[in-house]
Structure 1
C-alpha cells in the first residue's frame, strides 16, 4: 500500500542529508522516521508522488493546525471539533485541488492521530514517543487512481489552506514525471506544479 511512499525517503536522500546536517536526533526538533518533519505549529508537511496513473499524498500536520489543540478531546466541544476535522480529512478531493480532466478517484486512505484514538507512534529510537512532549500530529495518507495522469500538471492547496487557516505553510516533497523537488506552499502561493 505504501510502496511508492516507502521509496520516497531513498529518492529524497540528497535533500535529507542536507537537512540532517543541521539537526540533531533531538526529540524536540526531529521526529524522523515516523513523520515527515519536525513538529512546528503553522507548518505542515506533504509528500506527493505521481507514478504512472497513481497519485499518493501523505500529509503530516501538528493537530494544532487542524483542530486548534493537541490534547485528547475531553469536552463535548473538543470531541465535536475532532470529529469535524476527521470528516473533512475523509474527503480529500475537497482539500486537494486536482485537475478534473485527470479523472482522479480516491482508491485508499488512512488517517492516524492520537486524537482519533490511535496509539501514539514510537520515535526512531523506540524508547518513547513524541506525545511525551505534549505534541500530537495528524497523519493522512491518500491514494488516487487517475484516468489521464498526463492532465495532472499541478496540485492546488488553496482549499486546504482555506479549511485550516492556522496552517501557514506546507513544505512539500514531490516526485513526478519531471523529477523530484522540494517546494513550499503558502496561502498566497498555494499551487504547485508537478
Structure 2
C-alpha cells in the first residue's frame, strides 16, 4: 500500500502538467493567437507561383488596435496600409523578378466591418465587456506573386518588414518550398530564411 501512495503523485504528474499546459495556452495563447510583438507568416513557393499570408496584431503595424478616429491615427493606418502594399520590398523578393498578381489587405482598422477574425477565446473572454469588443484587431495581408527567376530567389528576407514595423519582434514562419516544409521564428537579428 505504501508503494502505491508514493507512486500516485508521480502517476498524476503528467495529468497536472498537461492541465497546466492547457491553462497556459488558454491564458497566454498558443502559436497563432493574438500576441503583441508577434506575427505569423505562411509562405508557399510552387514553381513560379509564390503565395504569402501574414497575420499580425494591428498593434505591431500601427501602434494601436482601436478604430482610428483622430487624424494622427488615420494617418498611421494609411501609412501601414501603403507599406503593406509593397510585398516585394517587405519580403526581400526583388531577386526573383516577382510581380504581384493579387493582394488582399484586411483589418477592422481599414474600415472593413464584414471580416471579424478575432480569436474565439478572446471573444469569449471579453464577452461581458462591450467596450473591449474590438480590443484585439488584427491585420491580415495575402499576396499572390509570379516570379520569373525562381532560381535567383534564394531566401525570404524580412529585414525591411522589421525596419518599417519596429513593434514586430518576431514572426513565426511556416514555409513550403522546393526544399520541403520548414517552420522557423524570424527576428530583427535573424530576419532571413532560405527557400
- What corresponds to 1:172 in structure 2? 173
- The answer for the alignment partner of 1:137 in structure 2 is 138
Which one has the largest radius of gyration? 2
Correspondence list, 1:40-59, <5 A: 40-59=35-54
Q: Secondary structure at the match of 2:93?
A: coil
Q: 1:99 to 1:84 in 2, by over 3 A?
A: closer
The answer (yes or no) to whether the contact 2:66–2:134 under 8 Å persists in 1 is no
| Match in the other structure for 1:186 | 187
The equivalent position to 1:118 in structure 2, one of 112, 135, 149, is 112
Structure 2 vs 1, CA of residues 133 and 112 (structure 1 numbering), >3 Å: closer, same or farther?
A: closer
**Displacement after TM superposition at 1:111 (Å):** 0.2
CA contact under 8 A between 1:99 and 1:154: conserved in structure 2? no
| TM-score of the pair, normalised by structure 2 | 0.77
- Residue 156 of structure 1 corresponds to 157
User: What does residue 61 of structure 1 align with?
Assistant: 56
Cα distance between partner residues in 2 of 1:176 and 1:112: 25
**Once the two structures are superposed, what CA deviation does each residue of 1:32-63 show, in whole Å capped at 9, x if it has no partner?**
xxxx8111111111001001110101001110
Question: Which runs of 5 or more structure 1 residues have no equivalent in the other structure?
Answer: 1-21, 31-35
Q: CA deviation at 1:29?
A: 2.4
Q: How many angstroms apart in 2 are the aligned matches of 1:69 and 1:99?
A: 31
Pairs aligned (count):
168
Match of 1:6? none
TM-score (norm 1): 0.77
Q: In angstroms, what is the RMSD of aligned CA positions? A: 2.6
